[in-house]
Structure 1
Amino acid sequence: MVYRLIGIVIILIISSSNFQSPVYAWFNRGLDDTLVEMHTMFNQRELVQLYDGYVHGDIKNDIMKLIDIMKMEKTDENKIALRLNYKNVEQYRKATSRDIIIRFFDLMKNPRYNQPSNIKNSAYLRIALSLSLLFAFLDNGMELVDRKIGFKCAILTYKGNNFTMKIYFYYQNGKWFLTDGRQCQ
């Protein structure tokens, strides 16, 4: 009878941790290690490597689509080419999505302008905002205040710098990836 009860409890625990909603788990499958690695890379300003290694493919696809829209929109493309340090508009037009992402991160690490741009290309602005907020939770002054970790999803809440952020991670192929939460619905 006791063994049967223990078996039922174990089955309930295992089945409840298989839901994609953030059910509390007694382990985090390496999420803490992932956060340490991400902090280290962020502090070393390895933003491209951080993006490549820890951002979910859905987010990367969304950014690539925005880059295509930005190029098609053609609004302020001279200013965008200059801002992203291309020699001319033609070089910007021929650039791959990967190259543009690298240049956005390079601009974040090494800002060449003191004043904000007056670029009106909506896709450019969305890309700039998305990429700058992507790793904001790793910045100095941000503190982890809440965590809900499930079998496949984790929601971490960070506070600091007069800002509160909910960060979603999705566990896939033995690794945690930063996502926007759509996999956790």
Structure 2
Amino acid sequence: MTASSIRFAIALPIAALLVSLLLLLPYASSLAAQMKAAVSPMTAAPATAPVAHGEEERRYAQVAALNLPALLAELPTALVGDDRSSWSPAGMDFRVWRALSYPVVGLFFWWLVGRGADALRRPAATLRWPETAFAALLFIAGVLFWIGWFTGTTAEDRADTNLHWIGLGVLLWLLLEAIPLTAGALQLRERRASSRAPGGSGKRRR
């Protein structure tokens, strides 16, 4: 297999999932305890697993930051829930739930970045407008986060471990979402140039 034959839309999600698993591997026993607590019988007293702290907490935050757009999946429960907080299984630390669920949900977003990378490298790999629009929305959300970070947080807030890694995750994904945005912009310019050319149809071969 040559470098030119690699499809980033497949390679990037797999790579991100493997990195997430490697980050979590040293804490497999703790994760197992958390999952056991979450699936304890409803009729019995709910089990309580140890709360993550120190290096373990940082690892969970790193995995969440690596797959940060998966945070969007929490919005429905956070918006309609009674306490306006994100959902996690009973008995499970919400940071552990994010570390376990974000790599799975995040596969879609890594696929989107890979689609953009493929479109930049291979002209025949057309990026559809919903993909570009979704990348644009994520990019705008990231910019708004950083505006809020500098204008609406205190030094104490910025010292929080979870918020710190969320900020780094947003920065990472601002850079990543620039890939499909750039690909979409270049393809749009090419279509317009093709439509203006004599006999141009404005369509690209898929």
Compute the TM-score of the two structures, normalised by the length of structure 2. 0.27
If asked which structure has higher relative contact order (CA below 8 Å, sep 6+), I would say 1
Q: Which has the higher strand share?
A: 1
Q: Which has the higher helix share?
A: 2
